[in-house]
Structure 1
Amino acid sequence: MHPEFPHQDIIHLNHAAVGPWPLRTAEAVTAFAQENTVSGSRHYGHWLEVEAATRALGQAVIGAQDPGDVAFVKNTSEALSIVAFGLPWSAGQNIVIPHGEFPSNRLVWLMAAERFGLEVREVELPFDAPEAALLAACDQRTALVSCSAVQFASGLRMDLQRLGPALHRRGVLFCVDAIQHLGALPFDAPAVEADFVMADAHKWLLAPEGIALFYVRPELRERILLQEFGWHMLADSGDYRSYALTVAEDARRFEPGSPNTLGIHALHASLSLLLEMGLDQIEAAIDERWQHLYSGLRSLGCAILTPPARHAGILTFRPARETTEILFRRLQDAGVLCAQRGGGIRFSPHFYLPIEALDQALAVVADDSGGG
């Protein structure tokens, strides 16, 4: 058992939905609450230091070039909305997205298309060549492609390093919903030539809901028409007497009002754990657990719905004999947290889960799968 994850009554195979907090994150939240109770905002200057430190940790997780390239927003949906309703569209342009995207990365583009006279093209992604399918849907009127780095249902992992440069050669913007990637795999926004990256913190980043990381390529920040305004986004946000009202040049321009200080303290703790572990090491540990589950499920006759050569942390499968619904209920009753997605059951293990816990989950599946 990992010391940061002492829970014993569950087997947490649901990090693609809502991940648990590490112990240090719970302690950071408790300490912050206690400080507020005892001292109020007396140490607000320290809170600002934690905010700056957390921005630097976010920079490392996204692979940005500077801490000022990272904004804190409420969630992935808010970040997508900033992009969709802030870009200077021209009527008749089109946006390309994969078919079957999570609703956040579909609804926002459909609403923007309705407002600005755009077309949304939804593309089926073949597992053997998903990037080629997206590129084939682009034409001279394509303004932007938006896709998840890892598909939430199938677990398909996109080759972002192939997709981003190919889109830029065509003059097409590249938006990446990285919520199923950050915290599970290393990420390098400049290397994949991402223009926009967003990810809520409550999945693989092991932090609370209500806070997310948002990256905009620095050259594009001023192209985004701002929709919300407040003191925190100003270049000199501490000078309340100033009438200059100059918006910050860095990503703080997307943070209009008072920050989610509690969420930032929690996120700081969670990101510190991930970076102490090392994202390369975390990727390797998750892959080991994925392969263990993959081998076990195959031996039980389950149908694997996630492409093995294209996986990240998600493994979606169908049971050999019983229905998905029945097996899902049995897993829940046995304390195995998972989800029903993509026509099957989705397991999503993180680095800290012991192999013995995975074997316990496989034993539940084996109860009625015809396996040993």
Structure 2
Amino acid sequence: MDWTEVARAEFPVTGRWAYLDHAAIAPLPRRSGDAMRSWVAEQEANGCVNWLGWREELERIRRRAAALINAEPGEVAFVTSTTMGIGLVAEGFPWVPGDNVVSASEEYPSNLFPWKNLESRGVETRLVRSREGRIRPEDLVEAMDDRTRVLAISHVEFASGFRNDLDTLAELCHARGVALFVDAIQGLGPLTIDVRRTPIDFLAADGHKWLLGPEGAGLMFVREDWIDRLRPILVGSNSVTSSYNDPEPAFDLKPDAGRWEGGCYNFAGLLGLGKSLELFLELGPDRVSGRILDRAEGVRERARSAGWEVVGSDRPGDRSGIVVLDREGSDNNAVVRSLKGRGVSVSCRRGKLRVSPHLYNGDDDLDRLAEGLRTRP
């Protein structure tokens, strides 16, 4: 694969930036921006005359999203955010007062607050702390009891970059009758997910990070055998098999995950995401994953040579596309500003530097980062 050619053809951002902040918000590939601009021009010129064509394109995008995680298209719903997907599962789950959900204490707030919001319904949220940079499966199991109904976990933790072992967690959960919910926004892209091989029950991910899509367009996966058990929330005209145009529309819920798409679609965002998914599938998700992990390893090597500590577990199976760095006495918010002045984009999260490269970042991008890391702001 000629990654330099991919970068030149698809990523205008490379003209100015060594962009290493995909765990925050990704720049769009050229084809995604083109799709969104085309939709805006179409609506300016024609209003909703060609709406049916947009709707048909959404089904092609659904098939791409399903292919990315090896799901059935009917198990995939479009959502406007990871938060929305989490909320639909949390609020729709068949809880009984006294039930509990287990999660990790360092989860992003969007994968904590929807579960904590269930306290008024008698559902307890139990949080497990990491040890030595790792969330240990045995600690999660220890927090479970016979009233644990859900384990809610990120594939990759946003601040540490720690990769949870979904295969192990799925096995542990299902042996105990616990459903597994995965916040996949920081894992899907740098890592691959196969929901047929790894029996995740629910998954949600917006597209604006590693999937290289725009904000406000993402996916939710609900395993087929959960579709009728998970109560639909925010139902509307798109949730049912009948048409809004019928004299008396029947309240017959769709037999698939489409029942969670109650209202209007973010057509521009979904069309952009669809093109980003198209790029992933053209390049091959396994190949993209390998490239991102290689780039992350290059960041680790250069950071160490520049005198920085790579924070977190160094076990290969715990690594992801996120690299967390620190240096004694460093003001890492100031480092972010200094690097930005050099045309290098990274983030600071919870006091530490967070670097998140993608497939199109060449060695010159990583060298620009290393040069900036050697200079104290």
**TMscore range, shorter length:** over 0.9
Write the mapping of 1:104-143 to structure 2, written as runs, cut at 5 A.
104-112=110-118, 114-126=119-131, 127=133, 130-143=136-149
Pick one of 35, 39, 53 that aligns with 2:42: 35
The answer to whether the Cα contact below 8 Å between 2:134 and 2:312 also exists between their aligned partners in 1 is no
Alignment gaps of 5+ in structure 1: none
> 2: distance between equivalents of 1:52 and 1:58?
10
Alpha-carbon deviation of 1:128? Answer: 5.2
Whether 1:327 aligns to 2:332 is no
> 2: distance between equivalents of 1:281 and 1:339?
26
Pick one of 51, 54, 64 that aligns with 1:47: 54
Alpha-carbon deviation of 1:78? Answer: 0.9
1:335/1:256 Cα in 2 relative to 1: closer, same or farther (>3 Å)? same
Name the stretch that deviates more: 41-50 or 266-275.
41-50
| Equivalent position SS for 2:302 | helix
> 1: distance between equivalents of 2:255 and 2:70?
19
> 2: distance between equivalents of 1:129 and 1:327?
28
The aligned residue for residue 351 of structure 1 is 359
> 1: distance between equivalents of 2:236 and 2:271?
22
The aligned residue for residue 82 of structure 1 is 88
The aligned residue for residue 303 of structure 2 is 297
The answer to whether the Cα contact below 8 Å between 1:186 and 1:280 also exists between their aligned partners in 2 is yes
Whether 1:96 aligns to 2:102 is yes
> 2: distance between equivalents of 1:322 and 1:141?
45
Pick one of 315, 333, 337 that aligns with 2:345: 337
Say what the alpha-carbon RMSD is for the aligned residues: 1.6
| Equivalent position SS for 1:307 | coil
Alignment gaps of 5+ in structure 2: none
Name the stretch that deviates more: 36-45 or 55-64.
36-45
Residue identity matched to 1:61? L
Question: Residue by residue, what CA displacement relative to the aligned partner does 1:35-58 show, whole Å, maximum 9, x if unpaired?
Answer: 112222222221122100000011
The answer to whether the Cα contact below 8 Å between 2:242 and 2:249 also exists between their aligned partners in 1 is no
Residue identity matched to 1:121? R
Pick one of 1, 17, 26 that aligns with 1:19: 26
The aligned residue for residue 364 of structure 1 is 372
| Equivalent position SS for 1:329 | helix
TM-score (ref. length: structure 1): 0.95
Whether 1:5 aligns to 2:11 is yes
1:267/1:237 Cα in 2 relative to 1: closer, same or farther (>3 Å)? farther
The answer to whether the Cα contact below 8 Å between 1:306 and 1:314 also exists between their aligned partners in 2 is no
The answer to whether the Cα contact below 8 Å between 1:61 and 1:183 also exists between their aligned partners in 2 is no
The answer to whether the Cα contact below 8 Å between 1:189 and 1:197 also exists between their aligned partners in 2 is no
1:35/1:128 Cα in 2 relative to 1: closer, same or farther (>3 Å)? closer
The answer to whether the Cα contact below 8 Å between 1:316 and 1:342 also exists between their aligned partners in 2 is no
Alpha-carbon deviation of 1:129? Answer: 5.9
TM-score (ref. length: structure 2): 0.93
The aligned residue for residue 283 of structure 2 is 277
Write the mapping of 1:189-228 to structure 2, written as runs, cut at 5 A.
189-228=195-234
Question: Residue by residue, what CA displacement relative to the aligned partner does 1:74-116 show, whole Å, maximum 9, x if unpaired?
Answer: 111111111111112111111100011100001111111x221
The answer to whether the Cα contact below 8 Å between 2:104 and 2:135 also exists between their aligned partners in 1 is no
